Homo-oligomer: A and B are copies of this chain.
Amino acid sequence: MTYAAPVNDMVETIRSAAGFEQAVADGVYGDLSLDLVASVLEEAGRFASERIAPLNRVGDEIGSRWSDGVVTTPPGWKETYRDWTAAGWNALPAPEQWGGQGLPAIVQAACAEMWNASAMSFALAPLLSAGAVEALIAHGSEELKQTYLAKLVAGEWTGTMNLTEPQAGSDLAALRTKAVPNGDGSYRITGQKIFITYGEHDMADNIVHLVLARLPDAPAGTRGISLFLAPKFIPDANGNPGQRNDVRCASIEHKLGIHGSPTCVMVYGDEGGATGWLIGEENRGLNCMFTMMNAARLAVGLQGVAIADRAYQQALAYAHERRQGRANGAPAGEMSPIIQHPNIQRKLLTMKALAAAARAICYRTAAALDRAHLAADPAERARGAAHASLLTPVAKAWSTDIGVEAASIGVQIHGGMGFIEETGAAQHLRDARIAPIYEGTNGIQAIDLVTRKLPMNGGAVAQAAIAAMRQTATQAANAQVSAGAAFGDAGARLRDAAESLDRATAFLLQQQAGNNPDAALAVATPYLRLFGIAEGLDALLNIALAAARAIEAGDANPAHASRIQIARFFASNIAPEAQALEQIVLRGGDAVLDAQDALVA
Contact = CB atoms under 8 A, between A and B. Distances in A.
A333 B339 CA distance: 58
Contact of A346 (B195, B415, B592): B592
Given A324-B170, A419-B255, A437-B416, A488 B591 contact: yes
A594 interface: yes
A237 interface: no
A595 B569 contact: yes
Given A324-B169, A419-B255, A592-B573, A561 B341 contact: no
A18 interface: no
A116 interface: no
Interface string A586-600: 011111111111111
B572 A335 contact: no
A96 interface: no
Contacts of A328: 517-518, 521
B577 A420 contact: no
B598 A565 contact: yes
Contact of A442 (B257, B412, B569, B592): B412
Interface residues of A, number: 106
Contact of A525 (B324, B339, B346): B346
A422 interface: yes
A522 interface: yes
A298 B595 CA distance: 30
Contacts of A419: 253, 255-257, 433-434, 437
B343 A524 contact: yes
A376 interface: no
A597 B254 contact: no
A553 B162 CA distance: 58
A576 B584 contact: yes
Contacts of A253: 419-420
A77 to B, nearest CB: 21
B573 A591 contact: yes
Given A255-B420, A256-B419, A349 B441 contact: no
Given A170-B324, A253-B419, A254-B422, 12 more contacts: A169-B416, A170-B325, A255-B420, A342-B521, A349-B591, A415-B437, A416-B437, A429-B433, A485-B597, A576-B579, A576-B581, A579-B579
Which 9 residue pairs spanning A and B have beta carbons closest together?
A342-B522, A576-B583, A565-B595, A256-B426, A573-B588, A576-B580, A562-B597, A342-B521, A580-B580
